[in-house]
Amino acid sequence: MLSIAFIGYGNSVTNYHLPYLEKRENINVKYIYRRAEDRVHEGTEHENWYPDINFTSDLNEILNDKEIELIVVCTHADSHAEYARIALQNNKNVLVEKPFASTLDEAKEIFELAKSKGLIAMANQNRRFDGDFLTLKKVLASGALGNIVEIQSHYDYFRPEKIEKGFKTLHLLAVHTIDQIISLYGNPDKVCYDVRSIYYPGESDDFTDIDFYYGKQMKATVKCSSSVKIEHPKFTVHGDRGSFIKYSSGHQKKNPDGATKVSFIQEPEDNWGEISYIDENGEEINKKIPSEVTDYGILYEKLYESIRNGVEKPVKDDEVLTVMGILSNGIKEASKNH
């Protein structure tokens, strides 16, 4: 059993962490830390949704508990690095929500601290376990499309009225899809940026189009926009033997009356991906690809193996640093757009 504690109690914890840990028999959520002022401002009634978890405003209660081996940091972005350092300095492994740190140097410092203490520090790139992305990986692994020429990844909305100043598209949306590409193919040979500030020139990043080049044959494109009214496929893939498209699998909705639950049921067939390719006999094959199921708990299962058995952690340090560098360069491009 791996006993863990959360620092923070917002949307990420209640909708993207706890529901996927509920039935993990080898992981026990023992604590959730909330600052006293947050409990006063936001109330404590929702704490009753989780009667088996100890809610505390005393961080030392967690740090001094020898049962706790992993602390999960889910606070405001500007405090991620601070809490990660505290956890590591108190001999706890740490899983940190995105962004992992404010700067590359800060991220490197945290990784070095973890290494010096024989601990694990890792970014929570849970979207590697989205059902649509797992389905894409299944298709790529099959080899049916041949040599991949192009991958397009979309993460779009139509909500121009909600756009505010600040570089949120990159850090809140594009970070997921950028990491997915890096997890598949590693550090690109070349990156080209088209990051625009449509509504607040030089002060936002509401249109993001980034190309990743691998060798001379393959390009992956990550696109995020708040001005897309007609839905694109989440993934469009072209190879020298065929093509594949998959629309988003979506996510569970919040439950205003209690703890969010997830079903782990395969999505309906009408949203399965579609593939068309020429097989080894020269025959054209057109069919739907059954969807994989979204399960962010898989990341915890893999992290458990890293902590317990020394298996390489699922999100590697160099992948985190690569993604952070791309985000930083994207913001620089958006800042020029005025």
**Residues in CB range of 313: below 8 A, 6 or more apart:** 120, 122, 302, 303, 306
pLDDT tens track for 11-54:
899 999 999 999 899 999 999 999 999 999 999 999 999 999 99
Q: Report the share of the chain in percent with pLDDT over 70.
A: 99
Tokens 């390009």 label which residue? 219
pLDDT, one tens digit per residue, over 78-136 is: 899 999 999 999 999 999 999 898 899 999 999 999 999 999 999 999 999 999 999 99
Strands (E), 261-335: 273-278, 284-289
Q: How many helices (H) and strands (E) does the chain have?
A: 11, 14
pLDDT, one tens digit per residue, over 115-129 is 999 999 999 999 999
pTM of the model: 0.93
Rounded average pLDDT over 236-246:
98
Angstrom distance (rounded) from CA 155 to CA 234: 7
Separation of alpha carbons 277 and 237, rounded Å: 11
Please compute the mean of the pLDDT values over residues 209-231 and round it to a whole number.
93
Tell me 129's DSSP state: G
Contact 222, 186 (CB under 8 A): no
Between CA 169 and CA 164 the distance in angstroms is 10
In terms of C-beta density within 10 A (0-12 exposed, 13-18 middle, 19 or more buried), how is residue 157 classed? middle
Residue whose C-alpha is closest to residue 151's, from 184, 174, 128, 176 = 184
Q: What is the pLDDT of residues 242-276, one digit of tens each?
A: 999 999 998 776 676 788 888 899 999 999 999 99
Alpha carbon distance 259, 328 (integer Å): 35
Q: What average pLDDT does range 162-166 have in this prediction?
A: 77
Rounded CA gap, 199 and 172, in Å? Answer: 18
Q: The tokens of 308 are what?
A: 């317990």
Question: Which range has the worst mean pLDDT, 89-93, 143-147, 166-170, 258-262?
Answer: 166-170
pLDDT of res. 337: 63
In this model, does residue 158 exceed pLDDT 90? Answer: no
Query: How many other CB atoms sit within 10 Å of the CB of residue 46?
Result: 14
β-strand partners of 238: 150, 243
Average pLDDT, the chain: 93
> Using an 8 Å Cβ cutoff, are 3 and 68 in contact?
yes
**Residues 180 and 145: beta-carbon distance below 8 Å:** no
Domains of the chain: 2-124 (3.40.50.720), 127-294+326-336 (3.30.360.10)
Residue 338: per-residue pLDDT: 53
Residues in contact with 237: Cβ distance below 8 Å, sequence separation at least 6, in sequence order: 136, 139, 140, 145, 148, 150, 151, 152, 243, 244, 245
